[in-house]
């Protein structure tokens, strides 16, 4: 892997976003109707940040991540609009062959289920060496192997040789996830997408994985898009947060603003539903109703049927993103200036 052409694109100004998603629409054509899994999502990823995309099931967070790598299975998936710009090029218009050069080398991904992301029939060594050589055919077998061992020790394996000879089933979930991280950084990517990297791991292992991600972020100046449903993980790592619900961005702002001073009623309810350390009494505040059914969304705001503070206008018209006093962008009628207008 030649590092030279990599650094070129990375040194381009700090303020310029390294990745820009503009009006992304990813729809699924199902027998029951069209599912707007990602509906007009726009955001920029700056070169130094960890951007968390938070949401519950059906919020479109994973489909957003998959769309960035054009990994959404099509059909039934379909990119109905929008652009994903990296260095001014739209990823969605690239051919499969061109995409192969981008996946892994420029943008790589860590998957939710670490064991399933590895091939069960090959050793860790085979899989890592394959990845390294595939992206840099000129590298010799020996140096690929050395690079593999180097990568394994960089993800905190004290005995990389033993791990290299192991098959995925011989390792614990945490070890598989660390191998997954090694695979994802094998080609020195410019952007890392981590899709629920610690879901299903126990708290101690979760801490080790998060620290590893944080370290790689600082060491390699690697911007990370972190997909998660766990607000604790967001607080631990993220610098900026996007809260998604029913395929749309509901709130976007700095991690501190969104978590300490949430503005959108959904963000507030979500934060309140998690047990806090200061909480007294055993009853939690709950969000009424069910997660959104993307085929039967309310006509107005998608959260209006579960919202505690919904006004009549909410079930009629769809809100836009408004700037809130906390500095975050909020998709809610409460923040629009014409809230008092008769409807």
Residues in touch with other proteins (CB under 8 A) = 56-57, 156, 158, 166, 170-175, 201-208, 210-212, 214, 229-236, 259, 269-271, 273-277, 279, 282-288, 290-291, 306
As measured in angstroms, the least distance from the Cβ of 214 to other proteins is 8
Q: Of the two residues 141 and 296, which places its CB atom closer to other proteins in the complex? A: 296
As measured in angstroms, the least distance from the Cβ of 38 to other proteins is 18
As measured in angstroms, the least distance from the Cβ of 80 to other proteins is 26
Q: Of the two residues 11 and 290, which places its CB atom closer to other proteins in the complex? A: 290
Q: Of the two residues 141 and 278, which places its CB atom closer to other proteins in the complex? A: 278
- Please say whether the beta carbons of 273 and 285 come within 8 A: yes
Q: Of the two residues 91 and 110, which places its CB atom closer to other proteins in the complex? A: 110
- Please say whether the beta carbons of 198 and 210 come within 8 A: yes
As measured in angstroms, the least distance from the Cβ of 94 to other proteins is 34
Residue 223 is given by DSSP the state -
Residue 103 is given by DSSP the state B
Q: Of the two residues 118 and 187, which places its CB atom closer to other proteins in the complex? A: 118
**Closest to 17 measured CA to CA, from 191, 185, 216:** 191
89 token code pair: 């090029």
CA–CA distance, 52 with 231 (Å, rounded to integer): 9
Phi and psi at residue 108, to the nearest 5°: -125, 170
As measured in angstroms, the least distance from the Cβ of 276 to other proteins is 7
As measured in angstroms, the least distance from the Cβ of 99 to other proteins is 32
Q: Of the two residues 103 and 229, which places its CB atom closer to other proteins in the complex? A: 229
CA–CA distance, 255 with 260 (Å, rounded to integer): 8
As measured in angstroms, the least distance from the Cβ of 196 to other proteins is 13
Those residues with Cβ within 8 angstroms of residue 215's Cβ, 6 or more apart along the chain or in another chain? none
The DSSP result for 45-102, as a single string, is E-TT-EEEEE--TTSSHHHHHHHHTT-S-TTTEEEEEEEEEETTEEGGGS-HHHHHHH
Those residues with Cβ within 8 angstroms of residue 239's Cβ, 6 or more apart along the chain or in another chain? 48, 49, 50, 51, 254, 255
CA–CA distance, 233 with 236 (Å, rounded to integer): 5
Q: Of the two residues 91 and 210, which places its CB atom closer to other proteins in the complex? A: 210
**Closest to 251 measured CA to CA, from 237, 235, 268:** 268
CA–CA distance, 343 with 340 (Å, rounded to integer): 9
**Closest to 108 measured CA to CA, from 53, 181, 189, 10:** 189
Q: How far is CA 158 from CA 125, 151, 233, in A?
A: 15, 12, 26
Q: Of the two residues 59 and 108, which places its CB atom closer to other proteins in the complex? A: 59
Q: Of the two residues 74 and 211, which places its CB atom closer to other proteins in the complex? A: 211
As measured in angstroms, the least distance from the Cβ of 285 to other proteins is 7
As measured in angstroms, the least distance from the Cβ of 98 to other proteins is 37
């Amino acid at each position: 892997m030649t590092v030279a052409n990599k650094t070129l694109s990375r040194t381009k100004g700090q303020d310029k976003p390294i990745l820009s998603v503009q009006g992304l629409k990813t729809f699924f054509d199902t027998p029951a109707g069209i599912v707007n899994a990602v509906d007009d999502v726009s955001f920029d990823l700056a070169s130094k940040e960890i951007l968390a995309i938070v949401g519950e099931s059906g919020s479109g967070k994973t489909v957003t991540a998959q769309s960035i790598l054009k990994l959404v299975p099509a059909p039934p998936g379909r990119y109905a609009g929008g652009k994903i710009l990296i260095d001014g090029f739209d990823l969605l218009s690239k051919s499969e062959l061109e995409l192969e050069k981008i996946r892994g080398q420029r943008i790589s991904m860590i998957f939710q289920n670490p064991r399933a992301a590895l091939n069960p029939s090959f050793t860790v060594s085979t899989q890592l060496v394959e990845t390294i050589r595939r992206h840099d055919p000129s590298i010799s077998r020996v140096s690929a192997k050395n690079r593999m061992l180097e990568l394994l020790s960089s993800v905190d394996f004290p005995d990389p040789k033993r791990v290299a000879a192991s098959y995925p089933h011989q390792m614990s979930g945490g070890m598989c996830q660390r191998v997954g991280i090694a695979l994802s950084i094998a080609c020195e990517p410019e952007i890392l997408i981590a899709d629920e990297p610690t879901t299903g791991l126990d708290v101690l292992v979760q801490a080790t994985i998060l620290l590893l991600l944080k370290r790689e972020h600082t060491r390699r100046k690697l911007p990370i898009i972190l997909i998660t449903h766990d607000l604790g993980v967001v607080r631990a790592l993220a610098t900026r947060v996007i809260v998604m619900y029913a395929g749309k961005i509901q709130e976007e702002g700095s991690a501190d603003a969104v978590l300490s001073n949430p503005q959108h009623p959904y963000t507030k309810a979500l934060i309140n539903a998690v047990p806090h350390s200061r909480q007294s009494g055993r009853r939690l505040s709950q969000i009424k109703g069910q997660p959104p059914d993307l085929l039967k969304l309310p006509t107005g705001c998608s959260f209006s049927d579960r919202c505690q503070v919904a006004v009549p206008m909410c079930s009629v018209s769809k809100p836009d993103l408004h700037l809130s006093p906390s500095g975050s962008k909020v998709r809610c009628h409460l923040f629009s200036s014409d809230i008092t207008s008769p409807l």
